[in-house]
Structure 1
Amino acid sequence: MDEATDPPIDGPTPDRLLRTGAEGPVDPEDLVRLTGKDVTPERLEQAKRLLEEHGPAAVERYLP
């Protein structure tokens, strides 16, 4: 390791600073991208239905 070029290593992020994204607005494209799949009209429609049913909490289905 070269201390001159390596970024500093910080400790783990405190839980109070972690966010899932469910706190803010989520649109269907966000939800599709979260799955790691390509955005298609079919996937956008499915994501739209999930958001209508579960609201922003639909994001929680795809988080580890």
Structure 2
Amino acid sequence: MADEDPIISGIPASARTVDRSGTHQVRTGADQPWDPEDLAVAEGHDPTPKYVERSRRKLEELGPAAIEKTVP
């Protein structure tokens, strides 16, 4: 069965959901709220004031794209 396959069309099973119609919906890292501290850590930085402020600006300017560029 396709739902048991770890990857379908390059999309890992953990990133897929199925709606009531049975179609697959892709979930991304930007589907959930992110704090600047989370983005700083995801980029490999300690959440120091410098990196938290930088991440805050990125989130403000780019919105979900800031997450997608870091955590696709």
- Stretches of structure 1 that go unaligned for 5 or more consecutive residues are 1-9
Aligned residues: 55
Residues 22 and 59, structure 1, Cα contact 8 Å, conserved in 2: yes
* Structure 2: stretches of 5+ with no match in the other structure: 7-11, 18-25
**Does the C-alpha gap of structure 1 residues 34 and 19 become closer, same or farther in structure 2, counting only changes over 3 Å?**
farther
Aligned residue for 2:56? 48
Matches within 5 A, 1:1-64: 12=6, 13-14=12-13, 15-17=15-17, 19-63=27-71
Confirm or deny: 8 A CA contact 1:24 1:56 kept in the other structure. no
Question: Which structure has the larger Rg?
Answer: 1
Q: Residues 8-57 of structure 1: CA distance to partner in whole angstroms, max 9, x if unpaired? A: xx852425246432011111011001112111100000000000001122
Flag as ranges the 4+ runs of structure 1 deviating above 3 A: none
Report the TM-score, using the length of structure 2 for normalisation.
0.61
**Identity over the aligned pairs, expressed in percent?**
49
- Higher strand proportion: 2
For CA contacts below 8 A with separation 6 or more, give which structure has more relative contact order: 1
